Amino acid sequence: MSNTTHTATERASDDIKGDEPLSLDELYRESSHHQVNLGAKKIHAKRMPGKFRAFKWKVASLYLFYFIGPFIRWEGGQAILFDIQNRKYHIFGLTLWPQDIWILALALLTFFLSLYVVTAVAGRLFCGTFCWQTVWVDVYTWIEEKMEGSPAQRRALDSAPWDARKLAIKGGKTLIFLLIGVATGVTFTSYFVDVFDLWHRYFSLQGPIEIWVAPLPFIVGTYLGVGIMREQFCFWLCPYARIQGSMQDADTIIPTYDMKRGEPRGRLNKGDCIDCHLCVGVCPTGVDIREGMQEGCIMCALCIDACNSVMKKVNKPAGLIRYASLKEMLGQPVVPLYKRPRVIIYALLIASTLIGIVWGLTHLGTVELNVIHERQPLYVTLSDGSIQNKYTLKIINKGDRPLSIKIALSELPGAVLVDHDAAVHVEPGKVLPLNVIVHVPKALVKKDAMKVEFHILDSATGAFITETESRFIGPG
Amino acid sequence: MADKDQKHHEAEDTGHEWDGIRELKNDPPRWWTIMFWLTPVWIAGYLLLYPSIPFPSGSSKGLLGWTSHGEYDKGRQEIEEIRAPFERKIAAMSAKEILNDPEMSNYAVNSIKQTFGDNCAACHGSGGQGGKNFPILADDDWLYGGTIEKIQETITEGRGGAMPAFQGRFTPEEMGDLMQFLKDAQQGKVFEPGKKVFLGQTKANAECSTCHGEDAKGNQDMGSANLTDGICRFDCTPEGLEYTVLHGVNDDGDVKTRKATMPVWGKKLTETQIKKLAVKVYLFGGGQKS
């Protein structure tokens, strides 16, 4: 290719729009731009319609719930609110206290296990479709295409000298990127402060300082991580990309180039691959899928869309690049899902964490009792020889009604509760610390530590509410 | 990668090479250089703004006027503002009223922790568990009374026990009988020969019962100990009891005498502090209703 034609090619490709069907010649002309990502040049991926493209948008649209979330109301308050100041976490009708944090831990465990099982079944499906980095990059590059044009036009703009037009486009783009960052950060913050109160505070320039600081990492993070670094983030910063290899096996279906069909690649009807580089051109991380599985591939399957469109054009069957497992490619028998130990073990683990969560949520209760035994002294001998132990009872009323309760003892023979006949009142949402003294006659103190159970009863009906076990300490 | 490798081959090296790895003369990364040059800027700013340069007459003051004392005062002021409404309320309440108000007694106990730790815990233990030869506050055996008023009085005015040394007064036989009497008294029994010694009806004519009472149960008005409950002010072993009898308590005539002095806190602590301390001591578990 001579120098003159090369320039002509570039000019011609400037006019090519992403969603218009291309002729084969145009494909090859454009292919000079489709380069594998080596980190040196910015990736400007081509956008093409297709099955996986549509799926990607559908999954991405789930993030609308993230932005709408804070505005959902429930029983007069915000449906999802992590009220750090009052240490209460509202999720619709449910109120979680810091004590219930283990349920959150199980929920996180479930998410991680889901990630593992998805990876074992279909590779980095999460990375390619649902990861916020991928989704935000997708939206940012969509905006970029609307403002700067096709990949070729963007490349041209990048290398063009700074003039008023470039400044306007780049400045406008940066502003929109920052605004999305602000929306992301403010939305995140509004899961911790009631959203209407938050906006009121923003517009009236009120404190606390936290609400001004909290969105900053998101603004900086989205601008640097999504606006600038993009796929470099996946390459160099994301730990998940590093551990994916150990979560996949020969049965995992991943976007794969069918080498037997494709090779030898070339323009003149050798293998099925016509070497148009379109799969590289559409790749948001700039990898060449024909090299096989690699760390840069986030498995968004956009190359499958691209390749299928080309196969259709050259009248060959679709699926030169397709979701397939290594075993399928090697012609080995494919093991069904339910016979794969990895999938079975992950499923069992997920089932157990889910059971834990369900058990936790159904056994939250509205009253919690913690018993703290006095440490200094552990016990006291009284004038009549009996042994006295002191406890601090922390009664937590997680309900929304005031509580009136009585305390009772069990499991400890001879135990006398001193001065606790009167009913105790616990206001809703409060923790009441209560000093409790227990006597046991010396003759009945047979061991240095004996079991004792504190019960909380309804003061009016005497109905059992909750119990906590502790120890009664004596000289033994 | 290819671009970077090419750059490496073009780059000048220092001539050092180990196993084919050359030390290049590339510039350090730009972010590193920026950080490096920011440090002197930071230092200059810090030197100007904060007290930092040591002079013989004291360090430079810094433009911000920051001092660690100032920061401490600010923090203290903050907590005092939070405590102010409670403190006003407590100042107007008697110790007994505080005790009967769960919220205020909770505040009193927690806000006086530090004062108790600084002044009381050395002898009485952080939880009122007492110490060797120091009284336990958590039990129900009180020398001077365990009502909230008496506890407050004890803290305010201090206490000092007084028991004469009886060394040389008893014959060995009388001493043996007295010890047996005390041992039995702790178990609710009466050893008659010893009781005679105790009541001063023997030759020694030492009337222990004048202070400790004929029933040996002590007298809270004068702070004499109850000898029948198995709880001893000093030491319950036979040797310990004998020592107390021989050398007395706070007897200036005997150098080996037991020391038992509760200091006067009324001059050192405020009335509010003492009220709070009385509530705390009462709630250790031994407080008695009047």
Per residue in A422-466, pLDDT tens? 788 888 888 888 889 999 998 888 888 999 999 999 988 888 989
Name which of A375, A385, A435 is nearest B230 (Cβ-Cβ).
Answer: A385
Query: Is B24 inside any structural domain?
Result: no
**pLDDT given for residue A166 in this prediction:** 92
For residues A126-134, average pLDDT: 92
**Residue of A41, A224, A235, A380 to mutate when probing chain B, most B C-beta within 10 A:** A380
**pLDDT given for residue A398 in this prediction:** 83
Hey, are the CB atoms on B285 and A381 less than 8 Å from each other? Answer: no
Domain boundaries, chain A: 1-364, 367-473
Q: Do residues B141 and B182 both lie within one domain? A: no
* Owning domain of residue B205: 172-262
Distance from CA of B1 to the nearest CA of A (A): 5
Per residue in B102-126, pLDDT tens? 889 989 999 999 999 999 999 999 9
Q: Do residues B136 and B190 both lie within one domain? A: no
Residue B254 makes CB contacts below 8 A (sequence gap 6+) with B165, B167, B247, B248
Hey, are the CB atoms on B138 and A380 less than 8 Å from each other? Answer: yes
Q: Do residues B86 and B203 both lie within one domain? A: no
**pLDDT given for residue A376 in this prediction:** 84
SS (H, E, C) A295-337: CCCCCCCHHHHHHHHHHHHCCCCCCCEEEECHHHHCCCCCCCH
Hey, are the CB atoms on A435 and B139 less than 8 Å from each other? Answer: no
Partners of A381 on chain B (C-beta within 8 Å) are 139, 230-231
Mean pLDDT of chain B: 90
On whether the CB atoms of residues A273 and A265 are closer than 8 A, the answer is: yes
Backbone dihedral region of A377: left (phi > 0), alpha (psi from -120 to 50 degrees) or beta?
Answer: beta
**pLDDT given for residue B224 in this prediction:** 92
Q: Among residues A187, A276, A280, A188, which one has the least CA distance to residue A231?
A: A280
A&B contacts, CB < 8 Å? 56
For residues A350-356, average pLDDT: 95
Name the closest residue on chain B to residue A37, using Cα atoms.
B1
On whether the CB atoms of residues A89 and A392 are closer than 8 A, the answer is: no
Hey, are the CB atoms on B285 and A437 less than 8 Å from each other? Answer: yes
Partners of A384 on chain B (C-beta within 8 Å) are 229
Alpha helices for A149-221 (secondary structure H): 151-159, 164-189, 195-203, 209-213, 216-221
Mean pLDDT of chain A: 87
Query: Residue A357's pLDDT band (boundaries 50, 70, 90)?
Result: very high
Domain A367-473 carries which CATH code?
Answer: 2.60.40.10
**pLDDT given for residue A433 in this prediction:** 86
Q: Among residues A391, A279, A218, A350, which one has the least CA distance to residue A35?
A: A279
Q: Is the CB of B125 inside 8 Å of chain A's CB atoms?
A: yes
DSSP characters over B192-244: HHHHHHHHT-STT---THHHH-TTS--BTTTTBPPSSSS--SS--SHHHHHHH
For residues A53-82, average pLDDT: 92
For residues A39-59, average pLDDT: 88
Hey, are the CB atoms on A383 and B128 less than 8 Å from each other? Answer: no
Query: Residue A40's pLDDT band (boundaries 50, 70, 90)?
Result: low
A139 or A84, which is more confident: A139
For residue A130, pLDDT over 70 is answered with: yes
DSSP, collapsed to helix, strand or coil, labels residue A467 as: strand
Residues A377, A389: Cα–Cα separation, whole Å: 8
Q: Do residues B122 and B242 both lie within one domain? A: no
Q: Do residues B138 and B119 both lie within one domain? A: yes
**pLDDT given for residue B1 in this prediction:** 42
For residues B252-262, average pLDDT: 93
On whether the CB atoms of residues A415 and A472 are closer than 8 A, the answer is: yes
Q: Do residues B128 and B180 both lie within one domain? A: no
**pLDDT given for residue A170 in this prediction:** 93
User: In A, what residues contact B, Cβ < 8 A?
Assistant: 38-40, 374-377, 380-385, 388, 390, 433, 435, 437
**pLDDT given for residue A346 in this prediction:** 93
Q: Is the CB of B127 inside 8 Å of chain A's CB atoms?
A: yes
Provide, rounded to the nearest whole percent, the portion of chain B with pLDDT above 70: 97
Query: Is B107 inside any structural domain?
Result: yes
Q: Do residues B104 and B229 both lie within one domain? A: no
For residue B7, pLDDT over 90 is answered with: no
**pLDDT given for residue A3 in this prediction:** 41
Provide, rounded to the nearest whole percent, the portion of chain B with pLDDT above 90: 69
For residue A271, pLDDT over 90 is answered with: no
Residue B238 belongs to domain with CATH number: 1.10.760
Q: Is the CB of B140 inside 8 Å of chain A's CB atoms?
A: yes
Distance of CA A140 to the CA centre of its chain: 20
Query: Residue A5's pLDDT band (boundaries 50, 70, 90)?
Result: very low
For residues A233-237, average pLDDT: 87
Partners of A376 on chain B (C-beta within 8 Å) are 125-129
Residue B277 belongs to domain with CATH number: 1.10.760.10
**pLDDT given for residue A22 in this prediction:** 63
**Residue of B3, B101, B106, B129 to mutate when probing chain A, most A C-beta within 10 A:** B129
Query: Is B64 inside any structural domain?
Result: no
Distance from CA of A470 to the nearest CA of B (A): 18
Name the closest residue on chain A to residue B106, using Cα atoms.
A433
Per residue in B140-192, pLDDT tens? 999 999 999 999 999 999 999 899 999 988 999 999 999 999 999 988 889 99
Residues B244, A441: Cα–Cα separation, whole Å: 29
ipTM over 0.90: no
A362 or A188, which is more confident: A188
For residue A118, pLDDT over 70 is answered with: yes
Hey, are the CB atoms on B230 and A435 less than 8 Å from each other? Answer: no
Query: Is B18 inside any structural domain?
Result: no
Q: Do residues B186 and B223 both lie within one domain? A: yes
Q: Do residues B110 and B249 both lie within one domain? A: no
Q: Name the domain count of chain B.
A: 2
Hey, are the CB atoms on B106 and A376 less than 8 Å from each other? Answer: no
For residues A229-242, average pLDDT: 86
**Residue of B116, B280, B282, B284 to mutate when probing chain A, most A C-beta within 10 A:** B284
Hey, are the CB atoms on A38 and B3 less than 8 Å from each other? Answer: yes
Q: Do residues B187 and B247 both lie within one domain? A: yes
Q: Do residues B258 and B277 both lie within one domain? A: no
Q: Is the CB of B141 inside 8 Å of chain A's CB atoms?
A: yes
Per residue in A364-405, pLDDT tens? 878 889 999 998 889 999 988 899 999 999 998 887 788 899
Query: Is B25 inside any structural domain?
Result: no
For residues A330-341, average pLDDT: 88
Q: Do residues B93 and B109 both lie within one domain? A: yes
Query: Is B5 inside any structural domain?
Result: no
**Residue of B139, B189, B228 to mutate when probing chain A, most A C-beta within 10 A:** B139
Query: Is B115 inside any structural domain?
Result: yes
For residues A141-154, average pLDDT: 91
Partners of B136 on chain A (C-beta within 8 Å) are 377, 380
* Overall size of chain A counted in residues: 476
Comparing A13-27, A44-58, A172-186, the range with the smallest average pLDDT is A13-27
Name the closest residue on chain A to residue B2, using Cα atoms.
A38
Query: Is B66 inside any structural domain?
Result: no
